[in-house]
Amino acid sequence: MATSPTTPHSRGPLRAGAAVLAVLAVIGCSTGTQSNPGGPTQQELVASLPPAKGAVDTVTWNLTTGEPDTLFPPNAATYSGGQVAANLCDTLLTFDAGFTLKPNLATFRQADPLTLVYTIRDDAKFWDGQPVTAEDVAYSMNRAKDPSTIVSFAYQNVQDITVTGKNEVTVKFARPDVMFNGGMASIGGMVLQKAFSEKAGETLGSSGGGLMCSGPFKLDSWRSGDSITVSLNDNYWNADRRPFAKQVKFTFVTDGTALVQALNAGEIDGAYEIPPSAIPALRNSQAGKLTFGPSMQSMLLSVATPDGPLSDVKLRQSLQTLVTRDELAKAVYNGAAMPVYTVLTPATWPNDQKTAYQAAYDPFVRERAYNIEKAKKLVGESTYQGQSLVMAIQSGDEAISRTAQLIQQQAKQVGVNIEIKPLTPLVFSQAGYDANKRAGIDLILGTSFNSAPEPLEPLGFDFLPDQVYNYTNYTNETVTNLLTEARQTFDGAERAKKIIAAQQIFEPESALVPLLSLHTVTFLNNRLAGGITSFAYWSTPQMAYVGSAK
């Protein structure tokens, strides 16, 4: 997926998080060979904190990327939106300890390569007490399938979705799709109540329209500009995932200094994605604990438009060797990151094919190592005439701002002029998926993430025609065929061959400049325990695991 600081590419669990923890361990060990200057090694990353011991009345939790633009699941593809929605809306399926799909709201049966049958459990209820029906499931899936949604990519091979029994929904495919079922454990598989959703219309998922779901928490209020409050769903069907907290208040503090003060004062109990600038101030906090966890996030520089000076490939390639990634990870990210050299980050490689992906990755590490003279030569060979390139960043993000300044300074050394343009968190988020919001912008610097260790997830979003994060309108028939074939190939080794072959073609185009692989950095107040500290929090009802430490 392209670089939006708030956009994913799809993604559970037992009460104390045992299953989730093992899943996170799987994710954590799927990274390849990377240096990590000044930070924890991969083995030192923590996937979860000790389980909570009791109930609490209230938890105040901050969304560091700001207020969500929507909670409508198929479009809640942002850090904030997806995190909140995961507490409210159940998914059809979930992952077990080995990252194997398991039942959640439904069981599944692969009737044949082109047919999946879901049987909906008969004891699940929405917050209003109404049962979750096959009609609700089919409705929700068809809403997610609509081309207007961000997650429609997951449904691109679906022919039709129909109710075929009292508790049964059948999905027919035009061609086999190895990715689809995994998507049903993420925002693309979240279930909404049909009657409520149809009545809400276009306001569904907004601060005024709300939602009706069946998750462990129910939506109480959304005060725009201030907070979102959710409360315990007393009738939640899954007794093993019943929350410890009676109420959770999500706040929207994006300023790092203000967040540190609120965390140290106990005004806010915790947060994910602690800004790198806040790490030194929180390492030795007396109020709580800072934890580094495994993640499938990355920071990238994206070419934001198909035209303009950056339509020249040599100019784009020059950006690959401009940045001292090691120093960036150490000095700006305070050890909460590792250098990365391809769009497909090592954390995304499937475990059983890690060796093949590593062999394909290593040449890019050598080719894209910091080399200012090489960058200067590429600029000279390009058609660039000294125009100012506008680079958008999210305002209030000190680490991104410092990174942007570093890129600006190093670009100037090779004759490239970059203008930094801060955007409000909301506008920046929208620019990630709305081309109109990218008007006048040449580059976007931000973070991106995968919801599962699935290479086809980011690559499909970034390099297939007409996808939401394909900002440069990249089209290559061979790449399209290879990625399409890989999606239909259930044999892991064969899939890896096809994906790696596609990588050799699209990477030299440099539509995306990968810089860092980021850890999930979590802070939790000492009065609390539990909590997932890996990026798996994003697709899991993560607040259900946070409770009293005593």
CATH number for the domain that contains residue 358: 3.10.105.10
Asked, for residue 423, whether it belongs to a domain, the answer is yes
Asked, for residue 337, whether it belongs to a domain, the answer is yes
Token pair listed for 432:
């990630």
pLDDT of residue 57: 98
| Higher pLDDT pick, 296 / 319 | 319
- Which candidate, 191, 190, 85, places its Cα nearest to that of 132? 191
CA-CA distance, 486 to 373, in Å (whole number)? 38
pLDDT of residue 383: 97
Tell whether the model's pLDDT for residue 258 goes beyond 50.
yes
Residues ≥6 apart with Cβ < 8 Å to 412: 418
Token pair listed for 203:
């306001």
391-408 confidence digits (pLDDT tens): 999 988 888 999 999 999
Q: Is residue 321 classed as helix, strand or coil in its secondary structure? A: coil
89-135 confidence digits (pLDDT tens): 999 998 754 456 789 999 999 999 999 999 999 999 999 999 999 99
pLDDT of residue 142: 98
- Which candidate, 429, 445, 447, places its Cα nearest to that of 437? 429
CA-CA distance, 173 to 176, in Å (whole number)? 6
Asked, for residue 267, whether it belongs to a domain, the answer is no
Tell whether the model's pLDDT for residue 138 goes beyond 90.
yes
- Vertex 487 angle, CA 486 and 488, to 5°: 90
189-217 confidence digits (pLDDT tens): 999 999 999 999 999 999 999 999 999 99
Kindly indicate the confidence band of residue 10, based on its pLDDT and cuts at 50, 70 and 90: very low
**Strand 528-529 versus strand 547-548 pairing type:** antiparallel
Tell whether the model's pLDDT for residue 38 goes beyond 70.
no
* Other C-beta atoms lying within 10 Å of the C-beta of residue 514: 25
Q: C-alpha distances in angstroms, 356 versus 98, 374, 502, 505, 515?
A: 21, 28, 14, 17, 22
CB 479 within 8 A of CB 498: no
Number of domains into which the chain is organized: 1
State the SS3 of 412-472: HHCCCEEEEEEECHHHHHHHCCCHHHHCCCCEEEEEEECCCCCCHHHHHHHHCCCCCCCCC
**148-169 average pLDDT score:** 95
Tell whether the model's pLDDT for residue 3 goes beyond 50.
no
Asked, for residue 251, whether it belongs to a domain, the answer is no
Q: C-alpha distances in angstroms, 57 versus 29, 61, 230?
A: 36, 13, 12
Asked, for residue 113, whether it belongs to a domain, the answer is no
Q: Give the whole-number percent of the chain exceeding pLDDT 70.
A: 91
What letter represents residue 445's amino acid?
A: L
Tell whether the model's pLDDT for residue 6 goes beyond 70.
no
| Higher pLDDT pick, 41 / 293 | 293
Q: Considering Cα of 457, then 462, then 466, then 467, what sign does the dihedral take?
A: positive
Asked, for residue 450, whether it belongs to a domain, the answer is yes
Angle of helix 492-506 relative to helix 477-487, nearest 10 degrees, comes to 160
Q: Where are the alpha helices (DSSP H) in 344-415?
A: 354-367, 372-381, 398-413
What letter represents residue 18's amino acid?
A: A
Kindly indicate the confidence band of residue 536, based on its pLDDT and cuts at 50, 70 and 90: confident
**480-495 average pLDDT score:** 94
CA-CA distance, 192 to 351, in Å (whole number)? 34
CA-CA distance, 171 to 112, in Å (whole number)? 11
pLDDT of residue 25: 33
Asked, for residue 250, whether it belongs to a domain, the answer is no
259-299 confidence digits (pLDDT tens): 999 999 999 999 999 999 899 999 999 999 999 998 888 99
Could you list the residue range(s) of the whole structural domain that residue 407 is in? 294-518
Kindly indicate the confidence band of residue 362, based on its pLDDT and cuts at 50, 70 and 90: very high
pLDDT of residue 40: 62
pLDDT of residue 425: 83
CB 499 within 8 A of CB 482: yes
- Which candidate, 208, 154, 132, places its Cα nearest to that of 11? 154
Q: Give the whole-number percent of the chain exceeding pLDDT 90.
A: 75
Asked, for residue 307, whether it belongs to a domain, the answer is yes
pLDDT of residue 420: 98
What letter represents residue 548's amino acid?
A: S
Tell whether the model's pLDDT for residue 31 goes beyond 50.
no
Q: Is residue 269 classed as helix, strand or coil in its secondary structure? A: coil
What's the pTM value of the predicted model, to 2 decimals? Answer: 0.80
Kindly indicate the confidence band of residue 350, based on its pLDDT and cuts at 50, 70 and 90: confident
436-469 confidence digits (pLDDT tens): 999 999 999 998 887 667 898 889 889 999 888 9
Enter the DSSP assignment of 511. Answer: S
CA-CA distance, 535 to 542, in Å (whole number)? 10
pLDDT of residue 450: 77
Residues ≥6 apart with Cβ < 8 Å to 257: 278
